[in-house]
Amino acid sequence: MVGDTKNRQKEAKEVFGGDEEHPAVKYLFNVAKEFYVGGKVEAVNKLNHYDYVELRYTPAELRTHFDKLGWSRVVAFQTRNPMHRAHRELTVRAARARQANVLIHPVVGLTKPGDIDHFTRVRVYTALLPRYPNGMAVLGLLPLAMRMGGPREAIWHAIIRKNHGTTHFIVGRDHAGPGKNSKGVDFYGPYDAQNAVEKYRDELGIEVVPFQQMTYLPDTDEYRPKDEVQAGIKTLDISGTELRRRLRTGGEIPEWFSYPEVVSVLRESHKPRFKQGFTVFLTGYTNSGKDAIARALQVTLNQQGGRSVSLLLGETVRAELSSELGFSREDRHRNIQRIAFVAAELTRAGAAVIAAPIAPFEHSRQTARDTISQYGSFYLVHVATPLAYCEATDKRGVYARARRGEIKGFTGVDDPYEVPPKADLVVDFEQQSVRNIVHQIVLLLESEGLLDRF
Ligand SMILES: Nc1ncnc2c1ncn2[C@@H]1O[C@H](COP(=O)(O)OS(=O)(=O)O)[C@@H](OP(=O)(O)O)[C@H]1O
């Protein structure tokens, strides 16, 4: 049982090092349930996967596969990232030094938030494989959820690789480490993982191969281990962060860094800004002008072309998605979350979404922002037209009906509107024309690179 705090604290300390900011420690205290189940495992049903089935091997299948290939010495390479030329070089070097073959054994379960999804990565590994000398390497996928547990995780990874029939295991600098905590302190020392696996090497029955940090030497057009490069020799590297930036902006990725076929797979999954979806979320009182602005923005974006444009007016959503909901705080929140769900899905698919509900509550707007911005940019535009103006120009007479008490809990009359403290743009229909407001929104989108070119 893990339920009591003492057990959890012990596990947090012994397994992950105890830092309460560690993602697995947070999981342990906030998500893990009360009981663990232990004992002999009996398979009931075979686990079914529907993606990359031909690249998935059970430990027994992989051992048989190595037997069939006549491989007796195999170096396993664990990764949760795309592989480039440096990785190809380091794995080939590891194999050469041990007269072994290579198993590329990427984790395709849960990895670190922000990692490139496994669908893209597997396409990358498949594209890279022909770059190995014929018959040197095999690719197999490992359905494992990483805990980012550093040294303890490295030992666990080594046992898993041994069970899959490999004799050597490459352990990297800060292997399975989650980086730094909020104070900038590393969760683990850079060599803790290598030392831990080395320490239990005999018991584990698998040999550690330290990961050699490779660097590119432009003058001789070759990769070499960083620690073997003499002082004064020019080297080139591109960090993971820099690579992600170039993918986002469409920046150049040179051939010395990666293979064109690998880059083209990565580019397919990283659309440039001008092809990414986004949501413009207008909030304000009834008759504040938000619907007119939303419609004008819709035609402006349609004229620009390149994306499909979806309009989610308050009225339409109420009729099509939320017809059973009323105007209580809970129902309004639910209504906004439905809008957020639809907008998030459309944004993910690359559309431009314009939503225009009243959305009077900050909590609902913030939740919508969180939901949508996982998939694309989100802009909150507060249509801050004064209530008196909205009411005075209301030709439909809804405010008059609310004032007479015929509509209860009407926003601005007898129900609150919380002013957004952090809108991306604040506009006022009393002071500005629709054309002018739409132009401001277009300028905002343009400044973010979303309208660059189609
Ligand atoms: N009690 C009450 N309060 C506010 N609004 C009311 C109410 N009852 C009906 N209506 C009409 O419904 C429209 C507002 O719906 P929304 O979905 O935008 O509101 S919310 O965001 O869920 O709060 C809104 O129309 P538009 O603002 O034109 O979309 C109102 O005319």
Asked if residue 242 and residue 99 are part of one domain, the reply reads yes
Q: Is position 187 within any domain?
A: yes
Substitution candidate for ligand 1 out of 286, 320, 382, 391 with most atoms within 8 A of CB: 286
Residue whose CA is closest, atom 22 of ligand 1? 332
Asked if residue 378 and residue 303 are part of one domain, the reply reads yes
Which numbered atom of ligand 1 lies nearest the CA of 315? 29
Q: Is position 50 within any domain?
A: no
- CATH number, domain of 258, equals 3.40.50.620
**pLDDT, tens digit, 9 for 90 and up, residues 324-358:** 999 999 999 999 999 999 999 999 999 999 999 99
What is the enclosing helix (H) or strand (E) of 222?
A: strand 222-225
Show the tokens assigned to 215: 């660097």
Asked if residue 149 and residue 25 are part of one domain, the reply reads no
- Is residue 273 scored above 90 in pLDDT? no
Residue whose CA is closest, atom 15 of ligand 1? 314
Q: Is position 193 within any domain?
A: yes
- CATH number, domain of 408, equals 3.40.50.300
**pLDDT, tens digit, 9 for 90 and up, residues 212-239:** 789 999 999 999 999 899 999 999 999 9
- The catalytic site residues sit at 79-81
Which numbered atom of ligand 1 lies nearest the CA of 408? 1
Q: Cα separations (Å) of 407 from 168, 200, 284, 398? A: 74, 74, 18, 8
Asked if residue 175 and residue 94 are part of one domain, the reply reads yes
Residue 306's domain comprises 273-447
Instruction: State which of 270, 298, 328 marks the end of a domain.
Output: 270
The pLDDT score that the predictor gives to residue 248 is 79
Asked if residue 80 and residue 224 are part of one domain, the reply reads yes
**pLDDT, tens digit, 9 for 90 and up, residues 279-311:** 999 999 999 999 999 999 999 999 999 899 999
Q: Is position 52 within any domain?
A: no
Show the tokens assigned to 454: 């189609």
Residue whose CA is closest, atom 19 of ligand 1? 358
Q: How far apart are CA 358 and CA 411, in angstroms?
A: 8
**What's the 296 CA to ligand 1 centre distance in angstroms?**
20
Asked if residue 323 and residue 259 are part of one domain, the reply reads no
**What's the 336 CA to ligand 1 centre distance in angstroms?**
11
- Is residue 2 scored above 70 in pLDDT? no
Number of structural domains, the chain?
3
Instruction: State which of 239, 270, 301 marks the end of a domain.
Output: 270
**What's the 368 CA to ligand 1 centre distance in angstroms?**
18
Asked if residue 290 and residue 144 are part of one domain, the reply reads no
Asked if residue 85 and residue 19 are part of one domain, the reply reads no
Ligand 1 contact via 359 beta carbon (within 6 Å): yes
- Antiparallel, parallel or unpaired: β 278-283 and 352-356: parallel
Ligand 1 contact via 286 beta carbon (within 6 Å): yes
Q: How many helices (DSSP H) and strands (DSSP E) are in the chain?
A: 17, 12
Asked if residue 338 and residue 233 are part of one domain, the reply reads no
Q: How far apart are CA 14 and CA 30, in angstroms?
A: 18
